[in-house]
Amino acid sequence: MKMLKAVIRPDKLYEVMEALEKEGFKGITVMDVVGRGKEGGIQVGEMAYNELAKTLILVAVEDSHIDKVIDIIIKHVNMGMFGDGKIFVCPLEEVWTIRTKKKELGG
């Protein structure tokens, strides 16, 4: 199992969430974050914006579904512009359900 972390434009969140849910991926964590990519922010006229509003979504995904989830996210957020976002895939060693005090899966 993997933890998929995607940093996306905030205005694309609900489109991504609807697409993921339609394909059966309902568990998602969402956080509002700020940051910047390699470009170091943006310059608009005289104003420099060094930190930009983004949305971070976290989705725990079975290994066999990682490519599908990545494809869904890219399809719904890719505008072909700087700032479209990043997707990080990290190993998930354990998942515990607090209510039942039980481990759901192993590495």
Q: Please indicate, yes or no, if residue 74 is contained in any of the structural domains.
A: yes
Q: Please indicate, yes or no, if residue 18 is contained in any of the structural domains.
A: yes
Q: Please indicate, yes or no, if residue 100 is contained in any of the structural domains.
A: yes
What's the distance, Cα to Cα, between the start and end of the chain in Å?
7
Q: Please indicate, yes or no, if residue 33 is contained in any of the structural domains.
A: yes
Residue among 27, 39, 37 at smallest CA distance from 87: 37
Percent of the chain with pLDDT over 90: 69
Number of compact structural domains in the chain: 1
Q: What is the mean pLDDT of residues 67-96?
A: 94
Q: Tell me which residue range forms the domain holding 98.
A: 2-39+51-105
17's enclosing H/E stretch is helix 13-22
Residue among 88, 66, 81 at smallest CA distance from 11: 81
Q: Please indicate, yes or no, if residue 96 is contained in any of the structural domains.
A: yes
Q: Please indicate, yes or no, if residue 44 is contained in any of the structural domains.
A: no
Q: Provide the pLDDT for residue 106.
A: 54
**Per-residue pLDDT tens for 14-58?**
999 999 999 999 999 999 999 887 777 777 888 878 888 999 999
CA atoms within 13 Å, Cβ hemisphere of 7 = 13
Q: Provide the pLDDT for residue 34.
A: 92
Q: Please indicate, yes or no, if residue 45 is contained in any of the structural domains.
A: no
Q: Please indicate, yes or no, if residue 46 is contained in any of the structural domains.
A: no
**Per-residue pLDDT tens for 51-65?**
889 999 999 999 999
Q: Find the CATH number of the domain harbouring 7.
A: 3.30.70.120
Assess whether pLDDT exceeds 70 at residue 107: no
